């Protein structure tokens, strides 16, 4: 067990740190520990397999089975887990812009689940939110056409009140979108060779190796003391090229990371949630809250080692940063370069430009997040909170009124951050986003367009992607309709269960 994070030592360190700091009470929230691992990081990084698909009448059809299993998350120990098409996590789905896709999802779990396509622009009935439950033993077959830029998306369950549990047990996978019409821009693109999926999650284990899902009173949820990359602890990726692209996904339930290379070198941040930035952004760190993604390109020297770490993330003006992982620093993934490296292309200086014009916005809505509520209300499956007219552009003003972290995720769209407290967003928030961290008491102005899919009966979700908060009801429902008018009383008939019975 020498490569497992030494919990006891970390607890002692937490005590020392908290008493020395004076502004924090580290042991009040034992789920939040500074985690250090001196281990050797020599477990080969598991690369999720690319999902097989078959073409049926021009539709690319994938199959996903949610199932129970057992996986070696810690060396030599079997942990009961859940996974898609396997014991833990799921295969990487991959499709191109313009393709018609379908996914045959079968639930082999002992309870109801759903599968949501996080970041995808698609009809709400295909979204896989809480209104598309798949009962135990049942199947569901969503189908849609990929119609958005190349991006690193992901899929995970979204059953109302149980999302934290289902994701934490291992139900998550990447969904990579390609755009054949877009230039390659010199970006590394050989999956598993120089284009590496990196799903980062934190876990807690009991003495028998079982996953412990216990937030221990922490109001943001569970903070694990063991960091897994693609389901492995202490992983190393062998690098054979001068440049390697890491597709970072924060698949954790509550923890926010600040990814960096241990020697402080700059990397090129090339993409965020919804695709490429307008130009690479040279930076030495990238903060990701749960659900967010970032693609970085790391330059490697032959024969060298580089450690991807997470530095103490700046969580903004929270009351007890140490309680929310704001003081934690730990290693994530070792990159080990071969003695001789294949040449890599030069990454372009600029990518495609884009941008939603704020003059197009016809409506502004304000959302206040506080006490697990949005504008004073918790999620209700039979209540529509907002109705939006198809084809319009809106500005949403979102503020976290609590003294602890939240973030903000909107289904169906990729939004852009117009401003934060009236200032332009930093470069890392200058791209297409579907999830953004909400520093307390700051005003985030987001702009988005609602296009293509009108539906009077099936809502999309907006919610905090800290999964405990989502489960507790920090979520709201919106319809996109042709009229944009509220549905007549009784017209909204939540279609829960319509997909779960066959
Ligand atoms: Cu939250």
Got the DSSP string for 440-487? TT-EEEEEEE--S---SS--EEEE-SSHHHHHHT-EEEEEEESS-SPP
CA of 426 to the centre of ligand 1 (A): 22
Query: Sorting pLDDT into bands at 50, 70 and 90, what band is 487?
Result: confident
Asked if residues 176 and 295 have their Cβ atoms less than 8 Å apart, the reply is no
Query: Sorting pLDDT into bands at 50, 70 and 90, what band is 1?
Result: very low
CA of 461 to the centre of ligand 1 (A): 14
Query: Token pair for residue 144?
Result: 């849609």
H helices of 250-311, where? none
pLDDT digits (tens, 9 = 90+) for 134-149: 999 999 999 999 999 9
Model pLDDT, residue 377: 97
CA of 321 to the centre of ligand 1 (A): 15
- Rounded Cα distance between 108 and 26, Å, is 40
Q: Determine the Cα angle at 460 with ends 92 and 95, to 5°.
A: 25
Q: Which residues contact 199 (CB under 8 A, 6 or more apart)?
A: 48, 89, 154, 172, 173, 174, 229, 230, 231, 249, 251
CA of 408 to the centre of ligand 1 (A): 8
Residue 330's closest CA among 305, 307, 314?
A: 307
Query: Token pair for residue 278?
Result: 């307008």
CA of 355 to the centre of ligand 1 (A): 28
Q: Is the pLDDT of residue 11 over 80?
A: no
Q: Is the pLDDT of residue 33 over 60?
A: no
Query: Sorting pLDDT into bands at 50, 70 and 90, what band is 3?
Result: very low
Sheet with 435-438, edge to edge strand ranges: 386-389, 475-481, 460-463, 406-410, 435-438
CA of 219 to the centre of ligand 1 (A): 9
More confident of the two residues 382 and 489? 382
Model pLDDT, residue 58: 96
Query: Token pair for residue 137?
Result: 């033993």
More confident of the two residues 234 and 17? 234
CATH no. of 358-481: 2.60.40.420
Domain ranges of the chain: 7-43+186-342, 53-178, 358-481
Q: Which residues contact 341 (CB under 8 A, 6 or more apart)?
A: 239, 240, 241, 242, 300, 302
Task: Specify the residue for token string 């789920």.
Answer: 31
CA of 406 to the centre of ligand 1 (A): 4
- As a dihedral over the C-alpha atoms of residue 482, residue 486, residue 488, residue 492, rounded to 10 degrees, the angle is 80
Annotate 284-300 with b (16+ C-beta within 10 A) or e (fewer).
ebbbbbbbbbbbbbbeb
Spelled out in words, what is the top-level CATH class assigned to the domain 53-178? mainly beta
Where are the extended beta strands (E) located within 343-385? 361-370, 373-374
CATH no. of 7-43+186-342: 2.60.40.420
pLDDT digits (tens, 9 = 90+) for 399-436: 999 999 999 999 999 999 999 999 999 999 999 999 99
CA of 492 to the centre of ligand 1 (A): 27
H helices of 173-331, where? none
Model pLDDT, residue 37: 52
H helices of 150-256, where? 163-168
Q: Is the pLDDT of residue 492 over 90?
A: no
- Rounded Cα distance between 498 and 140, Å, is 10
Asked if residues 292 and 435 have their Cβ atoms less than 8 Å apart, the reply is yes
More confident of the two residues 21 and 35? 35
Q: Which residues contact 161 (CB under 8 A, 6 or more apart)?
A: 471
Q: What are phi and psi of 187, to 5 degrees?
A: -75, 135
Query: Sorting pLDDT into bands at 50, 70 and 90, what band is 28?
Result: very low
Q: Is the pLDDT of residue 7 over 60?
A: no
What is the average pLDDT score of the chain? Answer: 91
Average pLDDT over residues 74-99: 96
Asked if residues 157 and 113 have their Cβ atoms less than 8 Å apart, the reply is yes
Model pLDDT, residue 490: 62
Model pLDDT, residue 272: 98
pLDDT digits (tens, 9 = 90+) for 181-230: 999 999 999 999 999 999 999 999 999 999 999 898 999 999 999 999 99
CA of 217 to the centre of ligand 1 (A): 15
Average pLDDT over residues 1-24: 36
Task: Specify the residue for token string 């989502």.
Answer: 470
- Rounded Cα distance between 194 and 243, Å, is 7
Residue 50's closest CA among 96, 88, 95?
A: 95
Let me know how long the chain is. 502
CA of 395 to the centre of ligand 1 (A): 21
Q: Is the pLDDT of residue 150 over 90?
A: yes
Average pLDDT over residues 319-333: 94
Q: 7-43+186-342 with 53-178: one CATH topology?
A: yes
CA of 265 to the centre of ligand 1 (A): 32
CA of 253 to the centre of ligand 1 (A): 10
- Rounded Cα distance between 250 and 288, Å, is 6
Average pLDDT over residues 374-398: 97
H helices of 146-273, where? 163-168
Q: Which residues contact 370 (CB under 8 A, 6 or more apart)?
A: 400, 401, 402
CA of 437 to the centre of ligand 1 (A): 9
Model pLDDT, residue 496: 54
**Cα Rg, the chain, nearest whole Å:** 22
Write the DSSP string, 404-449: S-EEEEESS--BEEEEETTBPPPGGGSS-BSEEEE-TT-EEEEEEE
Lowest mean pLDDT segment, chosen from 18-32, 59-73, 172-186, 446-460: 18-32
More confident of the two residues 36 and 337? 337
Q: Is the pLDDT of residue 273 over 90?
A: yes
Q: Is the pLDDT of residue 5 over 60?
A: no
pLDDT digits (tens, 9 = 90+) for 295-315: 999 999 999 999 999 999 999
Query: Sorting pLDDT into bands at 50, 70 and 90, what band is 494?
Result: low
Average pLDDT over residues 141-159: 98
Task: Specify the residue for token string 């979102």.
Answer: 398
CA of 405 to the centre of ligand 1 (A): 6
CA of 175 to the centre of ligand 1 (A): 24
Q: Which residues contact 423 (CB under 8 A, 6 or more apart)?
A: none
Q: Is the pLDDT of residue 292 over 80?
A: yes
CA of 393 to the centre of ligand 1 (A): 26
CA of 473 to the centre of ligand 1 (A): 10
């Amino acid at each position: 067990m020498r490569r497992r994070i030494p919990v006891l030592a970390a607890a002692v360190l937490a005590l020392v740190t908290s008493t020395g700091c004076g502004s924090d009470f580290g042991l009040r929230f034992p789920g939040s520990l500074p985690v250090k691992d001196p281990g050797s990081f020599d477990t080969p990084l598991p690369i999720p397999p690319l999902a097989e698909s078959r073409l049926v009448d021009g539709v690319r059809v994938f199959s996903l089975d949610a199932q129970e299993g057992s996986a070696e998350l810690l060396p030599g120990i079997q942990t009961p887990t859940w996974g898609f098409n396997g014991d833990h996590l799921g295969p990487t789905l991959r499709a191109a812009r313009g393709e018609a896709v379908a996914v045959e999802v079968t639930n082999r779990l002992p309870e109801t689940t759903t599968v949501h396509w996080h970041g995808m622009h698609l009809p709400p009935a295909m979204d896989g939110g809480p209104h598309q439950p798949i009962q135990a033993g049942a199947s569901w077959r969503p189908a849609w056409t990929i119609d958005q830029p190349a991006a690193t998306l992901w899929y995970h369950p979204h059953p109302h009140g149980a999302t934290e549990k289902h994701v934490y047990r291992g139900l998550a996978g990447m969904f990579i979108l390609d755009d054949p019409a877009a230039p390659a821009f010199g970006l590394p693109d050989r999956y598993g060779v120089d284009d590496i999926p990196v799903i980062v999650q934190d876990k807690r284990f009991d003495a028998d190796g079982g996953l412990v899902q216990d937030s221990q009173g922490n109001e943001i949820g569970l903070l694990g003391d063991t960091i897994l990359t693609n389901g492995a602890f202490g992983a190393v990726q062998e690098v054979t090229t001068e440049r390697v692209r890491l597709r970072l996904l924060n698949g954790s339930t509550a923890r926010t990371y600040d990814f960096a290379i241990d020697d402080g070198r700059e990397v090129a941040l090339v993409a965020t949630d919804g695709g490429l930035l307008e130009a690479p952004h040279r930076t030495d760190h990238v903060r990701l809250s749960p659900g967010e993604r970032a693609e970085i390109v790391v330059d490697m020297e032959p024969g060298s080692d580089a450690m991807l770490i997470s530095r103490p993330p700046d969580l903004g003006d929270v009351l007890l940063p140490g309680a929310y992982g704001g003081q934690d620093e730990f290693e994530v993934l070792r990159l080990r370069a071969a003695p001789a490296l294949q040449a890599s292309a030069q990454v372009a200086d600029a990518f495609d430009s884009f941008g939603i014009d704020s003059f197009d916005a016809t409506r502004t809505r304000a959302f206040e997040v506080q006490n697990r509520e949005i504008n004073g209300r918790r999620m209700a499956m039979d209540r529509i909170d907002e109705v939006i007219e198809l084809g319009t552009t809106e500005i949403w003003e979102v503020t976290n009124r609590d003294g602890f972290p939240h973030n903000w995720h909107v289904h169906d769209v990729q939004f852009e951050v117009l401003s934060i407290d009236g200032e332009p967003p930093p470069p890392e928030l200058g791209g297409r986003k579907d999830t953004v961290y909400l520093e307390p008491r700051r005003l985030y102005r987001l702009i988005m367009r609602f296009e293509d899919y009108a539906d009077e009966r099936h809502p999309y979700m907006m919610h905090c992607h800290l999964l405990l908060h989502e489960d507790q009801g920090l979520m709201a429902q919106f319809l996109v309709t042709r009229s944009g008018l509220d549905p007549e009383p009784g017209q909204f008939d939540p279609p829960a269960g319509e997909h779960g019975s066959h």
